[in-house]
Amino acid sequence: MFRPFIRVIAIPGAGLPVVASFLGALPIGMLGLGVLLLAHSTTGSFAAAGSVSGAFSIGNAVGLVTQGRLIDRYGQTRVLVVGGLLCPAALVAFIAASSTHAPLLVSAMLAAGGGASLPATTSSMRVLWPRLVRDPAQRSTAYAVLATQFQIAMVAGPLLVSALVLVGGPAGAVLVAAGFACCGGLAFAAAPASRRSRLAADAPAAVPRGRLGAGMWTLLVAGFGGGVAGGMMTVSVPAVAAEHESAALAGLLFAALSAGELLGGLIYGGVAWRLPPARRLVVGQAAAALGMAALVLLTGTPAGMLVAMFAVGACLAPIAIASSALLDDIAPPGSLARAYTVLVAVGLLGVAAGSAVGGALGTSLGTRPVLLIASSALGVVASWTTVRIRSLLAATTRSCATS
């Protein structure tokens, strides 16, 4: 299973960017919790801390899309160097502002600045992989490497914060995350493969602003819908755990989800698939909808919920990898970084919307109906992609014809 991954990582020029992109991903998993804990320790209010953490997340989403556009236009090096220097500066200023009990607005603005300038190493690695991997058969494995290491960073990040808080408090955790951001951004920018990466050589055609194409709109709508379902699940699962009077159950359920995502990514990347990515995407979406439906039926059984969460996670990784792989064919010429960052940002907006709607509906309808709505949303997403699959297959056919 691991041999395809080893072969891809061993491709000349891939080693340093892979390590740097992982270092750059760790702060994403660390800062959501670290910023929240630091703001709470100085304000004493989870409401205030939540607003500061939300500012960081919004800044990160906006900055991600902005950096994607800049990378497409100016290349990776300058963008990552600027981010690698600005992000730690903003976070250090945030630590200082929080420690001196500065006005909440100041802390929120500095947190947003840290999120906006967080170096987009994962997006840069996504742009770099098709330039490093010339064999199309290996690219699914390369994208699985990216998805798997990002998921590991999302699991390891909060664990690191928990350990660092015990040693140096929340400020120490945020400071270490700032160091990872700096090292990841600058190391990626210094990688020869990244410095050689130039848009002009790959995309001589000009890209009309705002023209994303039919295939991109198919992925964006599906990504938003999937995010909404994920957000609803995020707020509903802890509520179900509370009904079982088990605080630990929520953590176990999300751990099962993460374990499923890791295994799903490993299996996906280690298999030579005959189905085109568009059809794999539909299969993954439909399977995720069924897994969520099983979760609804098993809410009375903790062990059954663990199995269902694992199954849902095992479907989410192939969905993410197939969506990413399709960008090679459907992204407008010269806009791969922008397309990837917009796709990620739309998914994050979907999660935020799903969390808000799920929380409101959970109060009035209960948790199980919200999970059923989430399952239905995934079914609608699979139906949408099926109806629009020609927009994905047509782009893949054109790409094969011109290669």
Whether residues 103 and 192 fall in one domain = yes
pLDDT value of residue 62: 92
Whether residues 117 and 245 fall in one domain = no
Domain final position from 148, 167, 202: 202
Is the pLDDT at 24 greater than 60? The verdict is yes
Q: What tens digit of pLDDT does each residue of 149-197 get?
A: 888 888 888 889 988 999 889 999 999 999 999 999 999 999 999 888 6
Q: Which tokens is 144 given? A: 């699985």
pLDDT value of residue 168: 87
Q: Which tokens is 16 given? A: 């340093």
Whether residues 187 and 252 fall in one domain = no
Q: Where are the alpha helices (DSSP H) in 298-388?
A: 302-330, 336-365, 367-387
Q: What share of the chain has pLDDT > 70, as a percent? A: 93
Contact between residue 8 and residue 145 where contact means Cβ atoms under 8 Å apart: yes
Q: 249 falls in which pLDDT band (50, 70, 90)? A: confident
Q: Which tokens is 210 given? A: 């705002």
Q: Domain containing 76 — which CATH number?
A: 1.20.1250.20
Total domain count, the chain = 2
> Average pLDDT for residues 92-101, to the nearest whole number?
94
Q: 27 falls in which pLDDT band (50, 70, 90)? A: very high
pLDDT value of residue 204: 42
Q: What share of the chain has pLDDT > 90, as a percent? A: 47
Whether residues 195 and 239 fall in one domain = no
Question: What whole-number distance in Å separates Cα of residue 168 and Cα of residue 281?
Answer: 44
> Average pLDDT for residues 276-299, to the nearest whole number?
93
Whether residues 184 and 263 fall in one domain = no
Task: Answer whether residue 27 is part of any domain.
Answer: yes
> Average pLDDT for residues 377-385, to the nearest whole number?
96
pLDDT value of residue 374: 93
> Average pLDDT for residues 53-78, to the nearest whole number?
90
Whether residues 109 and 189 fall in one domain = yes
Q: 97 falls in which pLDDT band (50, 70, 90)? A: very high
Is the pLDDT at 68 greater than 80? The verdict is yes
Sequence-distant (≥ 6) Cβ neighbours of residue 324 within 8 angstroms: 126, 143, 146, 147, 340, 343
Is the pLDDT at 211 greater than 70? The verdict is no
Is the pLDDT at 313 greater than 60? The verdict is yes
Whether residues 153 and 116 fall in one domain = yes
Residue with tokens 């897994």, as numbered in its chain: 291
Whether residues 293 and 381 fall in one domain = yes
Is the pLDDT at 33 greater than 80? The verdict is yes
Task: Answer whether residue 1 is part of any domain.
Answer: no
Task: Answer whether residue 209 is part of any domain.
Answer: no
Is the pLDDT at 205 greater than 70? The verdict is no
Question: What whole-number distance in Å separates Cα of residue 153 and Cα of residue 252?
Answer: 18
Is the pLDDT at 353 greater than 90? The verdict is no
> Average pLDDT for residues 348-360, to the nearest whole number?
85
Whether residues 248 and 335 fall in one domain = yes
Task: Answer whether residue 4 is part of any domain.
Answer: no
Question: What whole-number distance in Å separates Cα of residue 49 and Cα of residue 34?
Answer: 10
pLDDT value of residue 395: 61
pLDDT value of residue 286: 96
Question: What whole-number distance in Å separates Cα of residue 11 and Cα of residue 38?
Answer: 41
Q: Which tokens is 169 given? A: 């408090």
- Mean pLDDT rounded to a whole number for the chain: 87
Question: What whole-number distance in Å separates Cα of residue 262 and Cα of residue 149?
Answer: 9
DSSP tag of 298: T
Is the pLDDT at 111 greater than 60? The verdict is yes
> Average pLDDT for residues 327-352, to the nearest whole number?
87
Instruction: Identify how many contiguous H helices and E strands the chain contains and give both numbers.
Output: 16, 0
Is the pLDDT at 311 greater than 70? The verdict is yes
DSSP annotation string for 92-157? HHHHHHHHTT--HHHHHHHHHHHHHTS--HHHHHHHHHHHH---HHHHHHHHHHHHHHHHHHHHHH
Task: Answer whether residue 2 is part of any domain.
Answer: no
pLDDT value of residue 50: 80
Range among 18-22, 58-62, 391-395 with highest mean pLDDT value: 18-22
Domain final position from 171, 202, 233: 202
Whether residues 272 and 384 fall in one domain = yes
Instruction: Say what angle helices 214-243 and 277-297 make with each other, to 10 degrees.
Output: 20
Task: Answer whether residue 26 is part of any domain.
Answer: yes
Is the pLDDT at 200 greater than 80? The verdict is no
Rounded to 10 degrees, the C-alpha dihedral 359/361/362/366 comes to -170
Tell me the three state secondary structure of residue 359: helix
Task: Answer whether residue 3 is part of any domain.
Answer: no
pLDDT value of residue 402: 43
Is the pLDDT at 292 greater than 80? The verdict is yes
Rounded to 10 degrees, the C-alpha dihedral 89/93/94/96 comes to 140
Is the pLDDT at 347 greater than 70? The verdict is yes
Contact between residue 234 and residue 354 where contact means Cβ atoms under 8 Å apart: yes
Domain that holds residue 367: 214-402
More confident residue, 229 or 213: 229
Whether residues 36 and 163 fall in one domain = yes
Whether residues 167 and 87 fall in one domain = yes
Largest CA distance in the chain: 61
Domain final position from 202, 225, 251: 202
pLDDT value of residue 401: 44
Is the pLDDT at 273 greater than 50? The verdict is yes
Task: Answer whether residue 47 is part of any domain.
Answer: yes
Tell me the three state secondary structure of residue 183: helix
pLDDT value of residue 301: 87
More confident residue, 303 or 249: 303
